[in-house]
Amino acid sequence: MAKLRTEFNFILPKGEGIKVESGRKVSGTMRLIKVKDLVDIERDGQVQRGTGAYYVVLLTRCIKQLGLINAVNRNVIEKLDPVDFAFLVDFMNEINHQVIKRLPLKCPDCGYEYEGIISQLGEA
């Protein structure tokens, strides 16, 4: 049986405002969402589901390191460029739904093109 990966590396598209070694792109490490994270946020009551604040709080729990910053908090996440924030939300959703591969698909009847995803259900 294959061992489930628990840490995932990423590189931010822009990386502006994050401390990083000179000449290097801003990279980081994210872990899978745990059910405990979702339960804690739900109990908080101040964070509504589906809002930007919800994803900010969730990312602060899941990102272990971002550039030279290893204490990633709400302040760090809120300073991200919108492109980087959107990238991290998409990346978080992908790893938690275990996206294995993306496939370009085309309907043989109508010619409509779309993207198919091969995945397995994630931890949360």
What are the pLDDT digits (tens) for 99-121? 655 678 888 888 888 776 655 55
The one-letter amino acid code at 70 reads N
The span from the CA of 11 to the CA of 67, in Å, is 9
**Residue 45: pLDDT above 80?**
no
The per-residue pLDDT for range 50-105, each reduced to its tens digit, is: 667 888 889 999 999 999 988 899 999 988 999 999 999 988 888 777 665 567 88
pLDDT at 124: 41
- 25, 86 contact by CB (below 8 A): no
Least Cα distance to 7 among 22, 28, 39, 29 occurs for 29
Whether the model clears a pTM of 0.85, i.e. scores above it, the answer is no
